[in-house]
Structure 1
Amino acid sequence: MWDYTDKVKEHFLNPRNAGAMENPDAVGEVGSLACGDALKLFLKINDQGVIENATFQTFGCASAIASSSALTEILKGKTVAEAEALTNKDIAAYLGGLPKEKMHCSVMGEEALAAALKNWRGEAAPEAHAEGELVCRCFGVTDETIRRAITENGLRTVEEITNYTKAGGGCGDCVPRLEEILAEVLGQAPAPAPAARPLTNLQRMQKVMQVIDDVVAPSLKKDGGNIELVDVDGTDVVVSLRGACASCPSSQLTLTDFVQKTLREQVDPAIRVKGV
């Protein structure tokens, strides 16, 4: 269980300013339900540039809710100029700290505030990933977000980047690129490539699903067939052939010479494919 401060627990159990705002002067939205966290921030700003009210809608964990609640409390009464100077560290400090694995929740608050202030100025919201190179496809994180997190928070390892941005926390394919970006920002020569780490079962499952959806299934559909992933247990992958493939005399060859071969090449050479 995460080691939450009393203030994090209080803002999670009794969040302040939760809910949509009628006729807001500014709205900032970041994250996505597909990535697991999303925050929509609403601001009421008077003619003197003072934030009179702030509310939020959040989809996410306890830290996401607490960070959003804290952000709205911090913003009330601040000028736009003062709000522009706020960072995720201010949100975390207000809560008495966050578990290192949950710092990305405070970063989401900083990004939502920046998006809301852009909206208040009448600047068009950027398209997804328009502000940089998409590095982590699992969580939709760009290099600009990663570089900003490294600079503002003094990050020194890829693990810290994952804690602050979630990048690298899924399939792990982006880890080499994260190492490159970290070295660039810190002005260091890229570290030698580490020995390949064995995939976790979750990482293997995600990659198997991706290869079946993007490579195997489209190929089988061309001949009137299809495939369904039934289970992944370690390196054992259980699938069910559908359509024309199900009754084809060569179905076993399809499993071994195409499905298994493809998964071994693109996911793990130890994979064994079984049909049901």
Structure 2
Amino acid sequence: MSKWTYSDKVKDHFMNPRNILREDNEADFHGIGQTGNIKCGDEMIVYIKVDPANLTITECKWRTYGCASAIASTSILSEMVIGMTLDQAYAITAKDILKELGGLPDNKVHCSVLGDKALRAAIDDYYGKNGMEDRIKTQSAKIVCECMQVTDEDIEHAVLEGVRSFSELQDMTKIGTGCGECHENAQAVMSGYIQKHFGL
């Protein structure tokens, strides 16, 4: 028998995922966010209910077409965010999820970005539906990598943090780790920001 390469916590959340949306009751939720690309094998949808009095998440459900890592990552994320304010939940990163899981194999780390990006999309959806468009943070961002939902703003942020090569950009954002069709455009966007900010 081959050795299980995931942590016990990942295995638990994969075998016994929490908060999966099993009913067709999408209309009951206040915000819905979708990310990923079925062509790449991973797609994530996150559903949230929000207490309007204090803008805290009272319920977080999800559905996915993805691997064990994507399932475990979103399962644990759905537990983490309940009780958080929308601002707190929006700030959760893939690194936070990985820490809670006890890590993932290097070739599966990119799966952990699906849940937090779908969550942010759900929060933005809530803001849009409730007259709080000024709080939406991704409205002006342009998607460069459809599979990993990496935007031009994500690339600019990476450049400002010191990224200078495409391999470094992939390490930080997981861009181009799905179908790979965005490589040329992503490199051009990265080069543009390097030139803009550093004249290199």
Contact 2:73/2:112 (CA < 8 Å) preserved in 1?
A: yes
* Displacement of 1:141: 4.9
The correspondence for 1:28, drawn from 27, 33, 51, is 33
CA distance, structure 1, for counterparts of residue 4 and residue 160 of structure 2: 24
1:9 aligned counterpart, secondary structure: helix
Distance 1:3 1:169, change over 3 A: same
Contact 1:35/1:140 (CA < 8 Å) preserved in 2?
A: no
* Displacement of 1:13: 1.1
* Displacement of 1:183: 8.7
Distance 1:151 1:67, change over 3 A: farther
Which structure has more RCO (C-alpha within 8 Å, separation ≥ 6)?
A: 2
Distance 1:114 1:185, change over 3 A: farther
| Amino acid in structure 2 at the alignment position of 1:57 | R
2:64 paired with 1:64: no
Contact 1:30/1:108 (CA < 8 Å) preserved in 2?
A: yes
| Structure 1: stretches of 5+ with no match in the other structure | 191-276
| Amino acid in structure 2 at the alignment position of 1:64 | A
Contact 2:37/2:147 (CA < 8 Å) preserved in 1?
A: no
Distance 1:56 1:171, change over 3 A: closer
Distance 1:156 1:35, change over 3 A: same
Which residue does 2:183 correspond to in 1? Answer: 174
Query: Which of the two has higher C-alpha Rg?
Result: 1
Distance 1:144 1:170, change over 3 A: same
Which residue does 2:59 correspond to in 1? Answer: 53
TM-score with structure 2 length normalisation? 0.73
TM-score with structure 1 length normalisation? 0.55
Distance 1:145 1:108, change over 3 A: farther
Q: Which moved more, 1:51-60 or 1:85-94?
A: 85-94
| Amino acid in structure 2 at the alignment position of 1:131 | A
* Displacement of 1:66: 0.6
Which residue does 1:116 correspond to in 2? Answer: 122
Contact 1:26/1:117 (CA < 8 Å) preserved in 2?
A: yes
Structure with the larger helix share = 2
1:112 aligned counterpart, secondary structure: helix
Residues paired across the two proteins, number: 185
| Structure 2: stretches of 5+ with no match in the other structure | none
- Share of identical aligned residues, percent? 36
